[in-house]
Amino acid sequence: MTELTSLPATRLAALIAAGDVSAVEVTRAHLDRIAATDGLVHAFLHVDADGALAAAEAVDAAVRAGERLGPLAGVPVALKDVFTTKGMPTTCGSAILKGWVPPYDATIVTRLRDAGLPILGKTNMDEFAMGSSTEYSAFGPTRNPWDPSRTPGGSGGGSAAAVAAHQAPLAIGTDTGGSIRQPGALTGTVGAKPTYGGVSRYGLVAFSSSLDTPGPAARTVADAAALHAVIAGHDPRDSTSIPQPVPDVVGAAARGADGDLSGVRLGLVRELAGEGAEPGVVAAFEAAVDTLTKLGARVEEVSCPHFTYALPAYYLIAPSECSSNLARFDGVRYGLRVGDDGTRPLEEVMAMTRQAGFGPEVKRRIMLGTYALSSGYYEAYYGQAQKVRTLISRDFQAAFERVDVLVSPTTPFVAFPFGARTGDPYQMYLADLYTIPSNLYGGPAISVPCGLADGLPVGLQVMAPTMADDRMYLVAAALESALPQPSPPPLKAAPAA
Amino acid sequence: MTAISRDEVAHLARLARLSVTDEELDRFASQLDVILQAVARVGEVATADIPPTSHAVPLTNVMREDRVTPGLTAEEALAGAPDVAEGRFRVPRILEEEQ
């Protein structure tokens, strides 16, 4: 591993801006690292070496010309394959979109390009972001750099594994029920879900529109905050985008790195205090809470009684929205078409196309959502879940009258072996037990490494009120400053997944 | 007690335009039954006077100026389509032969 692939993004940006190293050298080092390791890790579905090097070249030209650069100019980034990229394939991990090349860029992609971040390529994911292990990708699973016989979590396992394996200093994910935070926890990296509406969804292929939130993945809290600042902010092309200034996440991460949390009130959520969690996860989490106390934070227990209904409510709301959103994959405007032999009518061709193009988890969720929205069941399922969502938001609001942030383990268990949860879909859903409440409420939440259990990373989650994203970065950066940075063992080959 | 029958799953698959196999029907029926029994727990919560939340952002009727901006050309919009004819998306027949 060369030094360039080990440095934090913020450090690389400073070296590039000072002319000490070129953006091309930095980008090439990461492309070389991908070439050397991705046969094993399989974090990428598409690598765009030419495009990344051209973008790096443009940054180097700007440095030579003495132009003012953005704070992350020249630092390469990996992009979850759920964002449209003009001229670059976008599959969402699905066979139904294999080979599709979008005609336009997502707003996030435009912002990354404008800020001078070379895009290394598109990362692997559970199909249409539905899953918690990246095993539901139509293009094969991603391996966890900590132990290649285990999953990196999901749905954004590719982005998290790319960052953990030093293939990219930064990556973009999307978090609908935990798909940035849970893989962050399982790969020993930092993953943040911004406030819903804080980052544009324009060009993000929709799974559950009222929950989908793009956000950053990185190896340090400061790097995640810097990337957050690049992608966040109002976008007139997204009608749910919040027309307010972005909280000062970069400043908060810098203050937190001083390791002083005096005056900060932390709420320990009784309902997320480890029920159903592995003992090693609970032990690492409790030790981290002790560390936060030593840094000056005041910790008190709070109760959010409706959080126990968050998982059931989520698995009604998200599939309902998905069954509606994925109706667009009908073999007419883009992607696969199957069975169009000149004799079959449209509806039959659609059903054959969707049958061939969607994998098992997507089909399950489409049918589950179709059921929850059907007449006779709507009130008992979807309607009731929406009311429970209100009660979960009220629990958050009541808690934030007493404390500044809430903390919990990010996920109940460490990285699990391939195949351990695919046989029983509900066992896979439990991976999101602690991350889902923030999605239903809309508030920001971050996962930060907080130690190891049986040699595998554990994450601590910090949840904050809506549009108080700075608070979670402050607390996460303080914890990071007091703990050793987790580093995976050297990559070695594993038995077939 | 089961929450959902195999016949109901077959009906859902037709509604969702998924031509699932018999083997899939068996598997999905048992899996959806487990999932539905678990998520039905939302019914335990008393919500008589609770309004539903459809969205986390309290924005309504977002307006903007009606300005003309460049959009996709017809060629760009059609570029990813599985079948195109005369500058349009070509689809299989919609009406039956004898109509």
Domain B6-43 falls in which CATH fold? Histone, subunit A (1.10.20)
Cβ–Cβ < 8 Å for A81, A137 = no
Give the pLDDT of residue A1. 45
The torsion angles phi and psi of A446, rounded to 5 degrees, stand at -135, 145
Cis peptide before A155 (omega within 30 of 0): yes
Which of A197, A330, A367 comes nearest B13 by C-beta?
Answer: A367
Pairwise CB contact (< 8 Å): A370 & B45: no
CATH, residue A455: 3.90.1300.10
Cβ–Cβ < 8 Å for B89, A332 = yes
Pairwise CB contact (< 8 Å): B56 & A210: yes
Radius of gyration of chain A (CA): 21
| Catalytic residue of the set A80, A137, A241, A320 | A80
Give the pLDDT of residue A497. 46
Which of B20, B54, B93 comes nearest A363 by C-beta?
Answer: B20
Asked if the model's pLDDT at residue B64 lies above 90, the reply is no
CB interface of B with A, residues 46-85, below 8 Å: 47, 50-57, 59, 62, 64, 72, 76-77, 79-83
Pairwise CB contact (< 8 Å): A333 & B35: no
Task: Produce one character per residue of A311-322: b if its CB has 16 or more CB atoms within 10 Å, e if not.
Answer: bbbbbbbbbbbb
Give the pLDDT of residue A486. 86
Question: CA A432, CA A335: separation in Å to the nearest integer?
Answer: 30
Pairwise CB contact (< 8 Å): B76 & A103: yes
Cβ–Cβ < 8 Å for A123, A179 = no
The DSSP call for residue A173 is E
Q: Which is nearest to A80 in space by CA: A197, A195, A161?
A: A161
Residues of B in contact with A313 (CB under 8 A): 39, 42
Pairwise CB contact (< 8 Å): B55 & A210: yes
Pairwise CB contact (< 8 Å): A387 & B40: no
A14 lies in some domain:
yes
Our answer to whether residue A294 is catalytic in this structure is no
Give the pLDDT of residue B55. 85
Question: CA A145, CA A491: separation in Å to the nearest integer?
Answer: 6
**Residue numbers in chain A where pLDDT is lower than 50:** 1, 495-497
Q: Which is nearest to A47 in space by CA: A30, A69, A61?
A: A30
SS3 content of chain A, % helix, strand, coil (to 5): 45, 15, 45
Give the pLDDT of residue A275. 76
Host domain of residue A7: 3-305+393-482
> pLDDT: is A329 or B55 the higher one?
A329
Residues of A in contact with B44 (CB under 8 A): 309
Best to test chain A binding among B6, B22, B42 (most A CBs inside 10 Å) = B42
Which tokens in the block code for residue A491?
């990559």
Q: How far is CA A240 from CA A84, A94, A443, A465, B56, in A?
A: 19, 26, 14, 17, 9
Pairwise CB contact (< 8 Å): A387 & B43: no
A440 lies in some domain:
yes
Q: Is A468 on the interface with B (CB under 8 A)?
A: no
**Residue A308 CB-half CA count within 13 A:** 12
Question: CA A409, CA A460: separation in Å to the nearest integer?
Answer: 5
Predicted ipTM of the assembly: 0.94
SS3 label, residue A89: coil
Our answer to whether residue A387 is catalytic in this structure is no
SS3 label, residue A387: helix
Our answer to whether residue A323 is catalytic in this structure is no
Which tokens in the block code for residue A29?
């080092």
**Pairing status of strand A170-175 against strand A77-80:** parallel
A379 lies in some domain:
no
Q: Which is nearest to B57 in space by CA: A418, A267, A242?
A: A242
Pairwise CB contact (< 8 Å): A309 & B45: yes
Instruction: Note the pLDDT tens digit of each residue in A460-486.
Output: 999 999 999 999 999 999 999 999 988
Nearest chain A residue (CA) to B35: A426
Residues of A in contact with B32 (CB under 8 A): 364, 367-368, 371
The DSSP call for residue A302 is E
A347 lies in some domain:
no
Question: CA B6, CA B22: separation in Å to the nearest integer?
Answer: 10
Give me the residue spans of the domains in chain B. 6-43
Question: CA A308, CA A271: separation in Å to the nearest integer?
Answer: 7
CB atoms within 10 A of CB A240: 18
Which of B13, B18, B41 comes nearest A312 by C-beta?
Answer: B41
Please tell me the total count of domains within chain A.
1
